[in-house]
Amino acid sequence: MILAYSKRFEKEAFKEMVKDNVKILYRKTIEEATSQQIFQAVSYAVKDIIIDDWLATQEECRKKDAKMVYYMSMEFLMGRALGNNLINMMSYKEVREALEDMNIDLNVIEDQEPDPALGNGGLGRLAACFLDSLSTLNYHAYGCGIRYRYGMFKQKIENGYQVETPDEWLKEGNPFEIRREEYAKEVRFGGDIRFEKDPETGKDIFIQENYESVRAIPYDMPIVGYGNHVVNTLRIWDAEAITNFSLASFDRGDYHKAVEQENLAKMIVDVLYPNDNHYAGKELRLKQQYFFISASLQAMIAKYKKHHDDIRKLPEKVVIQMNDTHPTVAIPELMRLLIDVEGLDWDEAWDVTTKTCAYTNHTIMAEALEKWPVDLFSRLLPRIYQIVQEIDRRFVSEVRAKYPGNEEKVKKMAILWDSQVHMARMAIISGFSVNGVAKLHTEILKHQELKDFYEMMPQKFNNKTNGITQRRFLLHGNPLLADWITGRIGDGWITDLSKIGNLKVLVNDEQARREFMQIKYQNKVRLAAYIKEHNDIEVDSESIFDVQVKRLHEYKRQLLNILHIMYLYNQIKEHPEMSFYPRTFIFGAKAAAGYQRAKETIKLINSVAEVVNNDRSINGKLKIVFIEDYRVSNAELIFAAADVSEQISTASKEASGTSNMKFMLNGVPTLGTMDGANVEIVEEVGEKNAFIFGLSSEEVINYENNGGYNPVDIYFNDWELKRVIDQLTDGTYSDGDHNMYRNLYNSLLNTQCTNRADTYFILKDFRSYAEAQKKVEEAYRDDHRWSKIALMNTACSGKFTSDRTIEEYVEDIWKLEKVAVPSGQ
């Protein structure tokens, strides 16, 4: 869009491009431009270079007619694009130097970019890592999602409380996106369905009348593969009214209708729901789901039909992966398009749909399960609902045939039950693959949560342990360590992380370990500076950086962490002579806006921080830092600087976790429960290089099914723990207010408050956690031992690359072929 440039990525030419862009965009010289303007200018220059490879990729894929995956997701937590694109174009250092020539610091320029935060947490970030791996591994892929006007809210901490403010990520414009007006699609909601017999074919034709509709307009963002010229597309949809309000419609009396359509369009893509693992049943959310799915599938079919004429062969060229149940309306919508628009009969359409759609489950938390009330669902999506009814009718008769007289089975498996549409059931019944995201999680799905389905269709179930991209979380986020590793074992690890295992031979090399720890120290200094700037807290870079960063949720047990800190503080106060290795506890967490207990936990962390950080009598042995607005960009700094990775969810509750992997890659041992992917981390790194505690998932599930746990017994038998819990209501951390943390207190001890007190076994696991923490301290005091642990974590992290995960998806589910792309220039 900026002009035709000399396309060779050469330093002087690049500098000219940037200067020209500043001139064209802002009528300024480079010296006059603000950092934000330079960011825009640099980004346009980079995009200009990407575009050629982007075109070349499309061309190669068309020529090869390669099968492709559509990764459907309500969330893509991409993080900043500029630095990542430069990394993957293998031009980061060159561009940094080119900018240095002009007295511009690339770090400062990168900091101008808002984090595209179109996701909540794990599920959205996983989608982003997957896109990076798909491009890097030469697969043809589309990510499909929503271009929310406001992404994840910005978090401010005021007086210890979380305050949410809107994330205006598009305010300055998004230099990497391209609006694709010509691919706009219409999406219809509501109205009535009438059917007629086609006089020629005798088939039923379904006609939707009195509906509201919006126009979906795609914006494409490039997904650059590492060093291979592959550029895939993240396609996110914006909404516009079809009938723009006009005087003409006003005259015709359609004023209300025009305004309604305008409002509907505005509202649909307005904001990302900030709930993580909690289903709220909001009508607008279902609209969002259908909106992006219908638009994406229409575009998918149009693209397929451009070069193929038999729609029944769609599964040979296309596979749809549904990221949790949020995109599951894809199933009935694909049926609708195949039957109502393409003219297939039911059986043909069902054959195509069931060979095309696959489902990933990301959680077993009961409150996260999507179940839409039938009246809402059928009113909003009348034709889709008819199709769901028919899928359900056929399935239920299959169940009855297989389990005659067993109506329990119908109750547990029917899509339509209790006046609700059970989305996970629909996904399992209609897809050809169901996968969990870590071994333990998949086993729990097979044998607990989804056992009736597993029994009936075992061949669909498979595991795909999550992974993360080392390009962002090591090469970009921790350049010192990345360079060191490359210096030691070459740069093969960047695209083949199994090679990082070659570092294992260095664990007995004292010099190597010293260098490794020296880098960790420098990264701690870098984070300490960030903390000084943002929190105005001085932290000691020699202290143990003990970190828990993730969404705030009771099952993740930030409360266990802070209660333990309160316990340590009591001990230090009581025994000032006690030997205690200085610790900095670092938290980062957003709470869903309506999640009271989660918000109370944030306030508690900040209040304890206030007291402890200002208590001179403890000589700085303990510091607590709550990092405001935890997001992808500051996460990169945090992983690189951590000493201890807190992964302390109640066993069985965390499907996988992925921050655990990012820490490991950066040489950080896990302090955690045997939950999610922690199990596999320990398998790789060995028990002596991790700190494991707490109930096992079997024990937790056993208590949940059979009872027998009473936290009150523990409370009365452990006076130190009792004292900590009592401090929640005795005013110690609330300026004398006895009610500020009353809900938290009740959640631990009061049976009236939940069906079982201490739902997440915090009291039960407390002592074992405290023991594990002691072992961390002991190990840390021993430099030799600690440096081995740290280095071994990096060296054993090879399994946890999303490249491995993607190859497994390709092999077992997607069956894609690789596409080679010559440089587009």
* Closest to ligand 26W by CB, 277 or 601: 277
- Reading phi first (left if > 0) and then psi (alpha if -120 to 50, else beta), residue 463 is in beta
Site residues for ligand 26W, window 465-524 (CB under 6 A)? 466
The string of DSSP codes covering 110-137 is: HTTS----BS-SHHHHHHHHHHHHHHHT
Helices (H), 325-474: 330-336, 346-356, 374-380, 382-402, 407-413, 423-430, 439-444, 451-456, 470
What is the C-alpha separation between 730 and 203, in angstroms, rounded? 73
**Three-class DSSP category at 360:** strand
* Closest to ligand 26W by CB, 274 or 711: 274
Site residues for ligand 26W, window 246-285 (CB under 6 A)? 275-279
Name residues whose C-beta falls within 8 Å of residue 726's C-beta, 6 or more positions apart in sequence: none
Q: Would you give the binding string for ligand 26W spanning residues 640-659, x where CB under 6 A is met?
A: --------------xxxxx-
Site residues for ligand 26W, window 407-466 (CB under 6 A)? 437, 466
Q: Which of 125, 149, 235, 362 is catalytic?
A: 362
Name residues whose C-beta falls within 8 Å of residue 442's C-beta, 6 or more positions apart in sequence: 435, 436, 461, 462, 463
Query: Minimum CB separation from ligand 26W for residue 360, in Å?
Result: 7
* Closest to ligand 26W by CB, 632 or 655: 655
* Closest to ligand 26W by CB, 120 or 666: 120
Q: Which of 550, 557, 564, 788 is catalytic?
A: 550
* Closest to ligand 26W by CB, 346 or 555: 555
Q: Is 402 an active-site residue?
A: no
* Closest to ligand 26W by CB, 133 or 656: 656
629 near ligand 26W (CB under 6 A):
no
Query: Minimum CB separation from ligand 26W for residue 74, in Å?
Result: 8
What separation, in Å, do the N-terminal and C-terminal C-alpha atoms of the chain show? 17
* Closest to ligand 26W by CB, 275 or 541: 275
Q: What is residue 438's DSSP assignment?
A: S
Query: Minimum CB separation from ligand 26W for residue 601, in Å?
Result: 17
Q: Is 469 an active-site residue?
A: no
Instruction: Please check whether residue 218 is in contact with residue 236, taking contact to mean a CB–CB distance below 8 angstroms.
Output: yes
Instruction: Please check whether residue 92 is in contact with residue 83, taking contact to mean a CB–CB distance below 8 angstroms.
Output: yes
Instruction: Please check whether residue 73 is in contact with residue 145, taking contact to mean a CB–CB distance below 8 angstroms.
Output: yes
- State CA 592 to chain mean position distance: 15
* Closest to ligand 26W by CB, 656 or 727: 656
How many positions of this chain bind ligand 26W (CB under 6 A)? Answer: 23
What is the C-alpha separation between 523 and 541, in angstroms, rounded? 9
Query: Minimum CB separation from ligand 26W for residue 435, in Å?
Result: 10
Residue of this chain nearest to ligand 26W (CB atom) = 122
C-alpha closest to that of 216 among 142, 253, 153, 269: 269
Query: Minimum CB separation from ligand 26W for residue 675, in Å?
Result: 9
Q: What is residue 283's DSSP assignment?
A: H
Burial of 739 from C-beta contacts in 10 A (0-12 / 13-18 / 19+):
exposed
Query: Minimum CB separation from ligand 26W for residue 361, in Å?
Result: 8
**Three-class DSSP category at 434:** strand
Q: Which of 460, 556, 623, 653 is catalytic?
A: 556
Q: Would you give the binding string for ligand 26W spanning residues 117-136, x where CB under 6 A is met?
A: ---xxxx--x----------
Q: Which of 96, 215, 441, 662 is catalytic?
A: 662
Site residues for ligand 26W, window 667-706 (CB under 6 A)? 676
Query: Minimum CB separation from ligand 26W for residue 456, in Å?
Result: 24
Q: Is 550 an active-site residue?
A: yes
The phi, psi pair for 413, rounded to 5°, reads -120, -20
Residue with the two structure tokens 């990542």: 84
Query: Minimum CB separation from ligand 26W for residue 658, in Å?
Result: 5
Q: Is 140 an active-site residue?
A: no
* Amino acid at position 410, single letter: V
Instruction: Please check whether residue 767 is in contact with residue 693, taking contact to mean a CB–CB distance below 8 angstroms.
Output: no
Q: Is 326 an active-site residue?
A: no
Q: Which of 658, 670, 673, 794 is catalytic?
A: 658
Q: Which of 551, 557, 788, 799 is catalytic?
A: 551
Site residues for ligand 26W, window 317-346 (CB under 6 A)? 324
Which residues lie near ligand 26W (CB under 6 A)?
Answer: 120-123, 126, 275-279, 324, 362-363, 368, 370, 437, 466, 654-658, 676
What residues act catalytically? 362, 550-551, 556, 658, 662
